[in-house]
Chain A
Amino acid sequence: MSEEEQTGTQNPEGSEKAAEASASNRFGPVRGYNFAYLDEQTKRMIRRVILKAIAIPGYQVPFGGREMPLAYGWGTGGIQITASIIGPGDVLKVIDQGSDDTTNAVSIRQFFRRTTGVKTTEKTVEATIIQTRHRIPETPLSADQIMVYQVPIPEPLRWLEPREVETRKMHALEEYGSMHVKLYEDITRHGRIAIGWNYPVLVNHRYVMSPSPIPKFDNPKMDRSPALQLFGAGREKRIYAVPPHTTVKSLDFEDHPFQVERWDRCCGLCGADDSFLDEIIVDDQGTRLFVCSDTDYCSQRRTEQAAKDRESPESAALADRLQEMAP
């Protein structure tokens, strides 16, 4: 099934809308480009695909992906989704590896700031659209938020079967035996399911879906999330979705239930014991510092703590240390 583009330049309704939209470009996008870069017909085609994806949770809908001014692999699928759904009133947050300050997140945020002029934020709670690569924020999401995931390989069965023609058949027939065999083989070989990230999930009891390369730590956050979750794979030209409050079950066995990774330590900066930790090598002796991967979560916690006890010598020392390490 291919989602063919049904609008063209000859479609008068589409052209009108496009004209209308470009006339209303008062939010200062880049000269010569439409609001959010894509033309209105393309956005409409993508929104139609998104609606189909929402109607069939976890099903990968092919779409006529466009070349974007950012390279394939840099999040072109997510960028096309965000560009198609963003409006002047939205507040955008972009994270990569959980952080707002990684170079790619900065670059994508700048792209939308330039092409739409919308407000951007680093605070999870303020955002209406959160585009992400490899993480889901630690702060719980709400019903008025949309998560947009950047997806490199949308097909969860790809490592079992390289051919698209075959994997589409397997999904159609709900033929997921080989996936269960793979997980079972992991258990017999390693005593556990040896998948740390991009851990396959079953959506709405029907489609096996790739959650994108988030750590399995984040998988439980997808389950019955009040936020709409959209997934875009630009190079592979696929869009899929998890509508709000939809069950997302990480694949497992009764005697080997799904488990997330745990650390014996807390975040070295904010002390959180419930967040995903990044491991940072701080000297040539290999000394490690463990800190929250979600930088917004970490800084919110630190702000709260600082407000609570400003006098603690320990946190002052930590603040000094931070100051030293800052670029």
Chain B
Amino acid sequence: MYVAVKGGEKAIESAHALLAEKRRGDPAVPDLSLEQIQEQLSFAVDRVMNEGSIYDRELAALAIKQAQGDLVEAAFLLRAYRTTLPRLATTEPIDTSSMTIRRRISATFKDLPGGQILGPTFDYTHRLLDFDLVNDSGTVPVNHANAPVESAMSKVVELLDREGLIEKEPAQEDGSMPADITRQPLTLPGERDVRLQCLARADEGFLLALGYSSQRGFGTAHPFVGEIRMGETAVVITPQELGFPIEIGEITVTECEMVNHFKGSKDHPPQFTRGYGLTFGYCERKAMAMAVVDRALRCRELDEEVKAPAQDEEFVLMHGDNVEASGFLQHLKLPHHVDFQADLVMVRQMRAETAGQDVGADSGKQKP
């Protein structure tokens, strides 16, 4: 019979075994530990936490190990796990202005209170392969600063805010809770809370390309990096039983605030507008792309014409999730022979009619 899809049960089992064997690779090479992944592949861990929508470095490392370094697959593993977890509490909004800063830069001011802090960045590295890393790289001596960085550095955009040059960021006015795209279906047009949630878990490559496209003229982005900051911030919950906030831990986040030139419209004076990006961990490229796309998607509220893909809410929000996209694209591998057969029958009939001959639907042996 149809050998390719028959005997499925055994075939699947064997495929799983082969995958497990491939994952382990040469057994003579030591097994990768989760600590190694967390410590030495931290950007991969951070990306997977974002797209997997859960802050858990150890589980992200496990997912990366299990997915053999396929980060989209790893994000999927995490998502399918997180969706089974109960909601024990909702945190207070995190306060990034009181972040313990490890990196903080602004491109809009030469210097600013608190200073520019480069932190650990690829930015000024020369991309030369470092052959010293071929073997154990050992420990790297670092000269740490004598004094700690200032605590609670004020946000750059707040400095602009004092002059009224930048739009006010309206707080959730009616005190309502933000939407939750993991529990409610996405309905369009969406508000900014929904959009930002979608962008936060969207595929980094997709956001990067969209942000880039709007810089190149597919859209009207003129962004400046108002501020990028990365560091640790406290996570606080207020349990109903206690009635007062308690700190339950801290997470690393990267925040990007883009400042965009805006000529004004009939309802809005000329001023700078904001685009916002926030990611778990140290994901600067994604935070920046997110901030650019966030601003592009605000065209409706700012009376801008929707001309480019990055401004098109439905296009961006419906196609940014790589777990959805990867699944649907790859499902083309599943058998489709029934639909293909229906098409075959029809195309043969239509060809027969055009040729003016009465050929049966099953004229498989006929030369085309």
Question: Closest 9 A-B residue pairs measured CB to CB?
Answer: A73-B331, A72-B327, A196-B342, A264-B360, A106-B8, A288-B364, A62-B185, A71-B327, A215-B342
One of B188, B349, B365 near A165 (C-beta < 8 A)? B188
- Tell me the chain B residues, 160-212 only, with Cβ under 8 Å from chain A: 182-189
One of B328, B336, B341 near A235 (C-beta < 8 A)? B328
Taking a contact as CB atoms under 8 Å apart, the answer to whether A5 and B184 are in contact is yes
Interface string of B87-99 (1 = CB under 8 A from A): 1100000000000
Verify if A276 is at the interface (C-beta below 8 Å from B).
Answer: yes
One of A62, A68, A73, A263 near B362 (C-beta < 8 A)? A263
Taking a contact as CB atoms under 8 Å apart, the answer to whether A72 and B324 are in contact is yes
Taking a contact as CB atoms under 8 Å apart, the answer to whether A73 and B328 are in contact is yes
Taking a contact as CB atoms under 8 Å apart, the answer to whether B335 and A194 are in contact is no
Task: From B1, B87, B335, B350, name the one whose CB has the most chain A CB atoms within 10 angstroms.
Answer: B1
Interface string of A1-14 (1 = CB under 8 A from B): 01111001100000
CB distance from B316 to the nearest CB of A (A): 13
> Which A residues are CB-close (under 8 A) to B83?
66-68
Taking a contact as CB atoms under 8 Å apart, the answer to whether A288 and B335 are in contact is no
CA distance A96 to B353 in the complex (A): 32
Verify if B144 is at the interface (C-beta below 8 Å from A).
Answer: no
> Which B residues are CB-close (under 8 A) to A262?
361
One of B82, B335, B337, B342 near A216 (C-beta < 8 A)? B342
One of A165, A322, A326 near B189 (C-beta < 8 A)? A165
Verify if B242 is at the interface (C-beta below 8 Å from A).
Answer: no
Stretch at the interface among A224-232, A247-255, A278-286, A304-312: A278-286
Verify if A178 is at the interface (C-beta below 8 Å from B).
Answer: no
Interface size class of A (residues with CB under 8 A): 35 or more
Interface string of A256-288 (1 = CB under 8 A from B): 000001111100000000001111110000111
One of A190, A281, A325 near B350 (C-beta < 8 A)? A190
Verify if B6 is at the interface (C-beta below 8 Å from A).
Answer: yes
- Chain B residues engaging chain A, CB cutoff 8 angstroms: 1-3, 5-9, 11-12, 76, 79-80, 82-84, 86-88, 182-189, 314, 318, 323-324, 326-331, 334-339, 341-346, 349-350, 353, 360-362, 364-365
CA distance A65 to B324 in the complex (A): 12
Listed A/B pairs (18) with beta-carbon separation below 8 Å: A9-B87, A39-B84, A39-B86, A64-B183, A67-B323, A71-B326, A73-B328, A106-B12, A110-B12, A135-B338, A191-B350, A196-B345, A197-B342, A215-B339, A237-B185, A278-B338, A291-B1, A322-B1
Verify if A177 is at the interface (C-beta below 8 Å from B).
Answer: no
Taking a contact as CB atoms under 8 Å apart, the answer to whether A74 and B334 are in contact is yes
> Which A residues are CB-close (under 8 A) to B334?
73-74, 96, 103-104, 133
Taking a contact as CB atoms under 8 Å apart, the answer to whether B336 and A264 are in contact is no
- Chain A residues engaging chain B, CB cutoff 8 angstroms: 2-5, 8-9, 33, 37, 39, 62-69, 71-74, 76, 96-99, 101-107, 110, 133-135, 152, 163-165, 190-192, 194, 196-198, 213-217, 235, 237-238, 261-265, 276-281, 286-288, 290-291, 293, 322, 325-327
Task: From A66, A67, A133, A198, name the one whose CB has the most chain B CB atoms within 10 angstroms.
Answer: A67
CB distance from A269 to the nearest CB of B (A): 9
CB distance from A276 to the nearest CB of B (A): 7
Taking a contact as CB atoms under 8 Å apart, the answer to whether A107 and B8 are in contact is yes
**With contact pairs A65-B185, A262-B361 given, residues A103 and B8 touching in the complex (Cβ less than 8 Å):** yes
A214 to chain B: closest residue by CB: B338
CB distance from B51 to the nearest CB of A (A): 12
Taking a contact as CB atoms under 8 Å apart, the answer to whether B5 and A286 are in contact is no
Taking a contact as CB atoms under 8 Å apart, the answer to whether A8 and B189 are in contact is no
Task: From B9, B189, B342, B345, name the one whose CB has the most chain A CB atoms within 10 angstroms.
Answer: B342
> Which B residues are CB-close (under 8 A) to A104?
334-335
One of B182, B327, B344, B362 near A265 (C-beta < 8 A)? B362
CA distance A76 to B349 in the complex (A): 35
One of B3, B82, B88, B346 near A261 (C-beta < 8 A)? B346
**With contact pairs A106-B12, A217-B342, A261-B345 given, residues A327 and B188 touching in the complex (Cβ less than 8 Å):** no
> Which B residues are CB-close (under 8 A) to A235?
324, 327-328
Taking a contact as CB atoms under 8 Å apart, the answer to whether B350 and A194 are in contact is yes
> Which B residues are CB-close (under 8 A) to A277?
341, 362
CB distance from A261 to the nearest CB of B (A): 5
CA distance A76 to B324 in the complex (A): 11
CA distance A217 to B324 in the complex (A): 30
> Which A residues are CB-close (under 8 A) to B11?
103
Taking a contact as CB atoms under 8 Å apart, the answer to whether B88 and A9 are in contact is yes
One of A76, A103, A163, A215 near B341 (C-beta < 8 A)? A215
One of A66, A72, A322 near B328 (C-beta < 8 A)? A72
> Which B residues are CB-close (under 8 A) to A64?
182-185
**With contact pairs A9-B88, A102-B335 given, residues A290 and B362 touching in the complex (Cβ less than 8 Å):** yes
CA distance A3 to B186 in the complex (A): 10
CB distance from B75 to the nearest CB of A (A): 10
One of B7, B331, B353 near A71 (C-beta < 8 A)? B331
